[in-house]
Amino acid sequence: MSEISASLVKELRERTGIGMMDCKQALVTAKGDISLAIEELRKSSGIKASKKAGRSAADGVIRVEISNSKAFMVEINCETDFVAKDESFMEFSDDVLNTLCSGDFHEVEQLMKGDLQDKREKLIQKLGENIVVRRMFQSDDTADHTGVYLHSNKKIACVTSLRGGNDEAAKNIAMHIAATDPLAISPNDIPIEILEKEKEIFEAQSADSGKSKDIVVKMVEGKIKKFLSEVSLTEQDFVKDPGVKIKSLLDENNAQVIQFKRFEVGEGIEVEETDFAAEVMSQIKKS
């Protein structure tokens, strides 16, 4: 077959979700046989996907939804904000969220078995970036009220579960947590190793103050108290009304926070720095 028609390329692309040029090349190799072309793409897509999987995927979106009084949240990563806004990437994130809400999944690997993994690999081929479903969360199903907040950029989200209270209070506290990123619900919930580390830092900072040992001890105690008020949810000032502490807001609504989870896109991911000049030189030497 001397020439591959545009309509045949279009049909293969629609059936596989893979880029136009890859589809055309597969059809050329298969001499226009679309079934053989699909086989060729299936053989090559795994290889190409695995190569892309080594690249840092630190951008993307958070998706969150309440279904049957339970909240579901998932982080889906890509490499650039451009792809994060792509329609097909957003459609994939819809599929991931809908699947998560429809079953009882405890691990990402369990969630991604079957159809979603297939869609992910096709999307990698189509968009040319590494796509990763990084983590997921399901709220406590014993909560009386569950609140969710998703920032407008879809990069930060939070789920909050309350004992007592009401939906509005749960949503307000979820929004507050998204903004302030507390470490724990109350000072008593802060891990001792974190407190010890902060104490060590404060002691080092105060050592050269020239103050007496007793004064230094009090200075460190004051700094620890301030630290706890900043990182403990109940001790923070409510972002919508700084004159009100979160613990007071909870008391007003006869509520207790029993759980919260905050996701921010890319947090904790080490972004791979690329030296493009070195990469180009490397390619030149290989050619």
Q: Minimal CA–CA distance to 136: which of 180, 187, 99?
A: 99
Tokens of 191: 């891990």
Among all chains, which residue has been given the structure tokens 């950029």? 153
Yes or no: say if 116 and 95 are a contact pair by the CB < 8 Å rule: yes
Question: Can you give the pLDDT at residue 276?
Answer: 46
Please report which residue ranges of the chain form alpha helices under DSSP H. Answer: 6-16, 20-29, 34-52, 81-84, 87-102, 108-111, 115-127, 167-180, 192-206, 213-231, 246-252, 276-286
Q: How big is the chain, counted in residues? A: 287
Buried b (16+ CB within 10 A) or exposed e, 67-90: eeebbbbbbbbbbeeebbebeebe
Question: Can you give the pLDDT at residue 284?
Answer: 47
Q: Can you give the pLDDT of all 287 residues of the chain as single tens digits?
A: 458 888 888 888 767 667 778 888 889 998 888 888 887 777 666 556 666 666 778 899 999 999 988 999 999 999 999 999 999 999 999 999 999 999 889 899 999 987 999 999 999 988 988 899 999 999 988 999 999 999 999 999 999 999 999 999 999 999 999 999 999 999 999 999 999 988 888 888 887 777 788 888 888 899 999 999 999 999 999 999 999 999 999 999 999 999 999 999 999 876 655 454 554 455 545 54
Among all chains, which residue has been given the structure tokens 């060590």? 200
Q: Is 265 left (phi over 0), alpha (psi -120 to 50) or beta?
A: beta
Report the sign of the C-alpha dihedral through residues 252, 183, 94, 96, in that order.
negative
Question: Can you give the pLDDT at residue 9?
Answer: 86
How far, in Å, CA of 120 to CA of 116, rounded? 6
pTM over 0.85, yes/no: no
Yes or no: say if 131 and 74 are a contact pair by the CB < 8 Å rule: no
Q: What are the extents of the domains in the chain?
A: 6-52, 55-138, 187-251
Please check whether the domain covering 55-138 is classified as CATH 3.30.470.10: no
How far, in Å, CA of 255 to CA of 258, rounded? 9
How far, in Å, CA of 124 to CA of 120, rounded? 6
Domain formed by 6-52, architecture: Orthogonal Bundle (1.10)
